[in-house]
Amino acid sequence: MKWPLVAYKVGLAIFFFVILLIAAMAVMPVLEGDISVEREGRGMDWSLENETITGRSSVWINNTGYLDFEKIVFDLDAEVLDDFHIDSTQRVGDISSGEEKKVDLIFSENLSEVPDDVKTHLLRYDTEVNVTVKMDGQYTFSLFTFTAEREDVFQWDAPFHDLSVSDVSYSQTPPEAEVDVSFENHYREELGFDITVEIFDPSGGVVGSTTETYTVPAGGSFHETITVEFSGELDHAIVRFEKEESGMSYEEEVEI
């Protein structure tokens, strides 16, 4: 055999072993569990502030393999009540070999984009939120590309969980109306809110109104009777709840 052909074949053999080596370098760390994506904590941290609903969670990506990760992108989708979705895309970028990186996954949606029935439900009831997290990425030079998709169910903790508003009872002497309100604050922190009770006459005119401000600690229960002075004939009342600094409100019409 001629030496140039021998050299060519040796070159091909070296190339072949380089390919095998690269494949082993990419696959072995995965099989040995050196590469991991782990969620920090078990739940999702929800907040309702500045007219925005926000969900936060964190994952740790540990790349102790031999090759760099590139173009890591997280696609997040939160589904509430089967028909409302909050989507988010986060570009993490590259994670070098040997690097460990914490990635904050954040959902965010302006309340003006949330349908009223969903907002009402989120205020009044603990709700399961289906969250799909999809991670795309690749090894150096697209040697391998990968997609990891995980579905989780996170609990949304309602600030006015199990809200109950009684019918209005009243007395003419003195002319006062009373409404009983109760709920549990399942929100992650102390709840500051306003309750406004407006009483209307049959023509729709306001004959009595009051606004009270309360705070309920996280996990606490609220039982209160709201008293309203009125003057005139009574027809119906509207009780409105507004969570401070959130822009979220809920109102309910009650009989007298």
Instruction: Report d(CA 58, CA 70) in Å as an integer.
Output: 19
Work out whether 19 is an interface residue with other proteins (CB under 8 A).
Answer: yes
CB of 71 to other proteins, least distance (A): 13
Site string for other proteins, 80-119 (x = CB under 8 A): ----------------------------------------
* The token pair that represents 128 in the structure block: 């399961």
Work out whether 23 is an interface residue with other proteins (CB under 8 A).
Answer: yes
CB of 150 to other proteins, least distance (A): 5
Instruction: Report d(CA 76, CA 123) in Å as an integer.
Output: 23
Q: Of 16 and 202, which CB lies nearer to other proteins in the complex structure?
A: 16
Work out whether 125 is an interface residue with other proteins (CB under 8 A).
Answer: no
Stretch that binds other proteins, among 8-16, 73-81, 116-124, 186-194 (CB under 8 A): 8-16
Stretch that binds other proteins, among 3-11, 112-120, 160-168, 233-241 (CB under 8 A): 3-11
Work out whether 151 is an interface residue with other proteins (CB under 8 A).
Answer: yes
Work out whether 60 is an interface residue with other proteins (CB under 8 A).
Answer: no
Which residue has 């600094």 as its token pair?
A: 245
Q: Of 12 and 218, which CB lies nearer to other proteins in the complex structure?
A: 12
Instruction: Report d(CA 207, CA 231) in Å as an integer.
Output: 5
Work out whether 32 is an interface residue with other proteins (CB under 8 A).
Answer: no
Residues of this chain that interact with other proteins (CB under 8 A) are 2, 4-5, 8-9, 11-12, 15-16, 19, 22-23, 26, 37, 138-139, 141-151
